Chain A
């Protein structure tokens, strides 16, 4: 079965850039929202897709930080496979001139 990609190109690039910027560091959705400027309504589905592709794994906040009775944060980080894939994808994206939207609509003066 063919697997679909993690989602729309530009938001995905932003999320992958945020996660790959500090490999091994775990970020929660609020961090990602602050770093990418994307609404959480986009971030959560994207994280779910990245998890499905095993580019990202997630885990609950560790007990010493967690206050009993309060909801725990869930942290996300790139897996080694995801880090390699993300770096490859981001390098490919940087190699292509223009934004994804411009490429999609054939912006004049830009390479397709």
Chain B
């Protein structure tokens, strides 16, 4: 039912309510509140508009929570994450195209380590440039570099240490074996010295 046009007071209160909301949703709620008020009589319009105004702050917080749930906001993350001290763990990537590789995710804030997708040599170089003390404080870039087929340091994806002679990066997966054969034609991957 489309009833009365909102009375001035109700129109004003609804307008103030809308102004309290984030800018990107004001048009939506202006129209929504307008349709709500039109279904009411003049007195109910005023009481409803007053109720909307009372709930404006709660609605604003709810809308801000929505943004935080969709994209975790740094201000709400653990203080260590805000300082860039994420606690990454590695787990297998769901993407079948990168089978054998792993992704890094912070256990505290859920941030994915998404450094530049680089090739075998650039991976090591980029890790060294971005983190001159690679292998020290932040294992994430080192682990990402270790996931690249061309990593020669044998860094462990979690610890970042270079004490393991074996690759923990899916080197023996089919894709990486093909990649290695392409780089060194005529040589068996097992004979390749990384």
Report chain A residues within 8 Å CB of B61: 45
Q: Is the CB of B35 within 8 A of A71?
A: yes
Q: Is the CB of A71 within 8 A of B76?
A: no
Report chain B residues within 8 Å CB of A40: 36, 48, 51-52, 55
- Interface size class of chain A, counting residues whose CB lies under 8 Å from the partner chain: 20 to 34
Given contacts A3-B69, A45-B58, A48-B66, contact A71 B32 (CB under 8 A): yes
Q: Is the CB of A41 within 8 A of B66?
A: no
In the complex, whether A111 has a CB less than 8 A from a CB of chain B is: no
Q: Is the CB of A70 within 8 A of B59?
A: no
Number of A-B pairs whose CB atoms are under 8 Å? 79
Report chain B residues within 8 Å CB of A41: 51-56, 58
In the complex, whether A49 has a CB less than 8 A from a CB of chain B is: yes
Instruction: Identify the B interface with A (CB < 8 A).
Output: 2, 28-32, 34-36, 38-39, 48, 51-56, 58-59, 61-63, 65-66, 68-70, 72, 76-77, 109-110
List 12 interface pairs A-B (beta carbons < 8 Å), by A numbering.
Answer: A1-B77, A28-B36, A40-B36, A42-B55, A45-B61, A46-B62, A48-B59, A48-B66, A49-B62, A49-B66, A74-B28, A74-B35
